[in-house]
Amino acid sequence: MTTIQHWINGTLTQGADTATQPVFNPATGAEQAQVVLGGSAEVDAAVQAASAAFETWSESSLTQRTQVMFAFRQLLVEHEEELGRIISAEHGKTVDDARGEIVRGREVVEFACGLGDVLKGSFSDQVSRGVDVHNFRQPLGVVAGITPFNFPAMVPLWMHPIAIATGNTFILKPSERDPSAANFVADLYQQAGLPDGVFNVVHGGKDAVDAILTHPGIEAVSFVGSTPIAKYVHEQATAHGKRVQALGGAKNHAVVLPDADLEFAANHITAGAYGSAGERCMAVSVAVAVGDAADGVVEVLERKAREVRVGPGDAPGTDMGPLVTKAAQERVENAVATAATQGATVVVDGRGLKVDGHEHGFFTGPSLLDHITTEMDAYKEELFGPVLAIVRADSLDQAIELINANPYGNGTALFTGSGEAARRFQRKIKVGMIGINVPVPVPMSYYSFGGWKDSLIGDSPIHGPEGIRFYTRPKVVTTRWPQPTQQLTAGFNFPTSS
């Protein structure tokens, strides 16, 4: 049985704690590894290593840091297939989907490769007689990331490339459900020439999280996960004087207007709802069918849902793999049962699916629920599984009101052929990321990712310009270099320019 260890100061280590947790293959249901569970001792060891490394890494040249990023980026390209299969084996998503998350994460590395331009400060000459002003940004110190199971490569890549390229050192606490990708990335960093201690991995559960949130040697914490935990992370970390990025849950709506191409819309909504078994914070979980579009949308979505090919993630032709754990499978299937008892029409029922040769895997098929109301649990809860709920609305304005009343505001989409409707939607909707005829509007790495309302706790989105701001602090320098013979009078009044 493989034991997955921590990565601290450039080497694998068991740590002081002997507790472990099983890591399953979701397609077979079989235990395939044990991951060690660290706590305060392991976090402290990582902080000590990262603090020592910060002394030299923060003084390294921008050229040195970007050269490491260029090398790291190339290694991600070369090992994309291997890393994709590691992710698929522990998460359950298809290998193609896993490769997709690696590519999107790599885009953040490419953004970090170009930080030479982004980190340029500004200079103002002669703001007062003989006085100049300039500014620049410096790294914070040791920073940490706490990341979810659903994107074991991409979400950490939203964090550590920018943190490291700006001169910080980093501690990653990945999900204990699929921990191997983090160690694989750590090894790639070492191959890329990153000094030991700059990037560290501590595995564990709540004990490790709490140790990160309270450790005085950690300056900032980035988190992606559910809204209740995001609120907890924000509260605890800020109470201990840390900067916090805390991205929470979602209930993403895709609105379909009567003028939309229903085949096009259904194709993209189906992929957005059932891709990665719905285990995405940007998954389409609600389709809002407006007016005369409703019956036609349901008909096409039913056909598309029944065409989804469910199987193990490494099997050719698979569209959707299993859920990550048995508990997740049971939770999703119970949610479909509850929706039926609350009055929803179960158009497609994915419960009880068995895949030949993988009867003990954590599979459930796509489920499609019609006549969902905002009072039903299937609408109110983030199911995080392959369940698409259909809500019917009379008009675009009613759809906008419905979405704006939802406590989440992560992502949304509108399918239409009307520019006027699209403009009205994107201006009135209270959601952070919007797609027009795009179902999953995850922004490119040079923009920042973050929702509104309960999808973002605090005010710090992730990667892009906000990532630079988050991992650095500004300095403004005012200088005067008087001539040796020049006599300047110092005033006791508050200084003003002249």
| DSSP state for residue 30 in the 8-state scheme | E
- And the tokens for 322? 């299993």
Question: At 279, which amino acid appears?
Answer: E
* Coil, helix or strand at residue 449: strand
491 strand-pairing partners:
none
With a CB cutoff of 8 Å and minimum separation 6, the contacts of 142 are 47, 50, 51, 54, 168, 169, 170, 171, 217, 218, 219
Q: How far is CA 394 from the centre of its chain?
A: 34
Query: Is 113 a residue of the active site?
Result: no
Find the catalytic residue in 43, 69, 211, 281: 281
d(CA 78, CA 64): 21
Q: Decide: helix, strand or coil at residue 55.
A: helix
Given a contact cutoff of 8 angstroms between Cβ atoms, the answer to whether 413 and 288 are in contact is no
Which among 487, 475, 476 is positioned nearest to 130, based on CA atoms? 487
Report which of 147, 178, 204, 173 is spatially closest to residue 26, judged by C-alpha positions. 178
Q: Which of 311, 68, 284 is nearest to 193 (CA)?
A: 68
Give residue 59's identity as a one-letter amino acid code.
E
Burial 282-312 (b: 16+ CB within 10 A, else e): bbbbbbbbbbebbebbbebbbebbeebebbb
Residue 371 phi/psi, 5-degree rounding, is 55, 40
Q: How far apart are CA 195 and CA 190, in angstroms?
A: 7
Token pair 């065409």 is found at 307
At position 340, the amino acid (one-letter code) is: A
Whole-number Å distance between alpha carbons of 248 and 422: 26
d(CA 109, CA 93): 23
Q: Which residues form the catalytic set? A: 281
